[in-house]
Amino acid sequence: MWFMRQAGRSLPEYREIRGPGSINDAIANPDLATEITLQPIRRYGVDAAILYSDIVTPAHAIGFGLDVLPGVGPVVEQPFRSSDDLTRLRPLDAEADTPYVLETIDNLVAELDIPLIGFAGAPFTVASYLVEGRPSRTYHNTKVMMKARPDLWFALTDRLADLAIASLQSQVDHGAEAIQLFDSWAGSLSAADYERYAMPSSAKVLEAIGATGVPRIHFGVGTGELLGLMADAGADVVGVDWRIPLGEARTRVPSDRALQGNLDPAILGAPWEVVEAEVDKVLESNNGHPGHIFNLGHGVTPETEPEKLEKVVERVHAYRP
Ligand code: CP3
C-alpha cells in the first residue's frame, strides 16, 4: 500500500521545508526533493515511495513555458494551439534536461529499503494542461482540438508520449522499481473517444516501458467505464477511483491484472470509526484477491490529518482476508 500525493501538502513537515517558491524549484533541488519523498515513508510506514516531482516536469524542462501555481496547478503562458507550437516540444534528453530528477532518484535508491515508484503524466492529461493553459473542468479546447484537428492532436500526443517514455525510461534506469502513468483526467472522455484519441499514445508509452520489465500502474479518475481499455493499453495494475467497488472493477479487466485503490480521499475527513469501516469495505470488496495495492481513489487532500493516514496503514497491514 501507498498513497497518491503522500509526499506533500497534508504534511506539516513538508510545509515547513517546502519554501515559498514554485514547486519546480523544489523539484530541481535534489536534497529537498529526496527529503520530501522520504517524509511520508518515515511517518506512515507505507510499502512504497513515490518520487517527488510533477507530471509537467518534462514539459517544463524542455522549456515549454509553464509554472505550477500553489492552489491552482499547472499554468501555461502560451497555450498549445497550432502546429507552430509543435516546435516548442523538442525531445527530452533526461540526463541533460532533468539531471536533478535523476540525482533525486539516485539518492532515494541508496536510502530506501522499499521500492521507489516513478511516474509520468499520460499524453491526454498533460495535453489538457498545455492546450487549456490551466486546470479545466470542461476540457473544452482539448476536446475541440481532438475532433476538429485530429492531425494536430495526434502529433501533439505523440510528442507527449515520447516525453513520457524518455522520462520513465531514465527513472527506471536510475532504479525506480515500478511506474505509474497518471491519466488523471481521462474520465472526462467517453469510452469511444478515449479509445480513439487517448489510448493510442498511452499504449505507446506503456508498451515502450514494458520492455524494462517493471510493473506498470495505469491510473485515472472517473474511469469506471474505461477500465477495460486502460488495461488493454498495457497495464499490469489498473487504478480504480471510489466510484465502483473493486469487485465490480475486477469484472471489467482481464483476470491477470492487479487493481489499485480505492478509498475515497474525502472520507479521511470523517471520524476514525467511519474511516475504519470504509477501509474494511475496500479490503472486503477485494475479497482476498492476491493482486491488490491498497491506495486512495485519488490523491491525499491538503486538509487530511496525517494521523488518519497512519491509522489506515496500520489497519491495512493488520488485515487478514
Ligand atoms: O506524493 C506524491 O504523489 C508526490 C509527487 C506528485 C506531485 N504531483 C507533487 C505535487 C505527483 C505524483 C504529482 C502528479 C500530478 N501533478 C498529477 C497527477 C496526480 C493527480 O493528482 O491526479 C497532476 C494532475 C498534477 C498537476 C498538478 N500539480 C496539480 C493539479 C497540482 C495541485 C495544485 C495545488 O496546489 O492544489 C500540482 C502541484 C503539486 N504537485 C503539489 C504537489 C505536492 C502541491 C503544490 C505545492 O506544494 O507547491
CA 198 to ligand 1 center in whole angstroms: 21
The confidence band for 191, taking pLDDT boundaries of 50, 70 and 90, is very high
**3-state DSSP of the chain:** CCCCCCCCCCCHHHHHHHCCCCHHHHHCCHHHHHHHHHHHHHHHCCCCEECCCCCCHHHHHCCCCEEEECCCEEEECCCCCCHHHHHHCCCCCHHHHCHHHHHHHHHHHHHCCCCEEEEEECHHHHHHHHHHCCCCCCCHHHHHHHHHCHHHHHHHHHHHHHHHHHHHHHHHHCCCCEEEEECCCHHHCCHHHHHHHHHHHHHHHHHHHHCCCCCEEEECCCCHHHHHHHHHCCCCEEECCCCCCHHHHHCCCCCCCEEEEEECHHHHHCCHHHHHHHHHHHHHHHCCCCCEEEEECCCCCCCCCHHHHHHHHHHHHHCCC
Tell me, yes or no, whether 247 lies in a domain.
yes
Tell me, yes or no, whether 289 lies in a domain.
yes
Is a pLDDT exceeding 90 seen at residue 20? no
Nearest to 244 by CA among 219, 276, 222: 222
162 is catalytic: no
CA 292 to ligand 1 center in whole angstroms: 24
Is a pLDDT exceeding 90 seen at residue 19? no
Tell me, yes or no, whether 6 lies in a domain.
no
Percentage of the residues of the chain whose pLDDT score is greater than 70: 100
Tell me, yes or no, whether 4 lies in a domain.
no
pTM over cut 0.95: yes
Angle (nearest 5°) at CA 18 between 14 and 23: 120
Q: Which of 44, 54, 162, 194 is catalytic?
A: 54
Tell me, yes or no, whether 142 lies in a domain.
yes
9 is catalytic: yes
User: What is the CB < 6 Å shell around ligand 1?
Assistant: 4-9, 18, 23, 50, 52-55, 68, 70-74, 119, 135, 182, 184, 299
CA 58, distance to chain mean position in Å, is 14
pLDDT recorded at residue 281? 98
139 is catalytic: no
pLDDT recorded at residue 237? 98
The confidence band for 21, taking pLDDT boundaries of 50, 70 and 90, is confident
193 is catalytic: no
Domain CATH for 191: 3.20.20.210
pLDDT recorded at residue 106? 98
pLDDT recorded at residue 132? 98
Average pLDDT over residues 288-298: 96
Tell me, yes or no, whether 18 lies in a domain.
yes
Q: Which atom belonging to ligand 1 lies closest to the Cα atom of 184? A: 22
Tell me, yes or no, whether 5 lies in a domain.
no
Average pLDDT over residues 113-128: 98
Tell me, yes or no, whether 1 lies in a domain.
no
252 is catalytic: no
Q: Name the residue at shortest CA distance from atom 43 of ligand 1.
A: 8
Is a pLDDT exceeding 90 seen at residue 151? yes
Count of domains in the chain? 1
216-273 tens-digit pLDDT: 999 999 999 999 999 999 999 999 999 999 999 999 999 999 999 999 999 999 999 9
Q: Which residue range is the domain that position 64 belongs to?
A: 12-318
Is a pLDDT exceeding 90 seen at residue 207? yes
Q: What are phi and psi of 74, to 5 degrees?
A: -70, 135
CA 247 to ligand 1 center in whole angstroms: 29
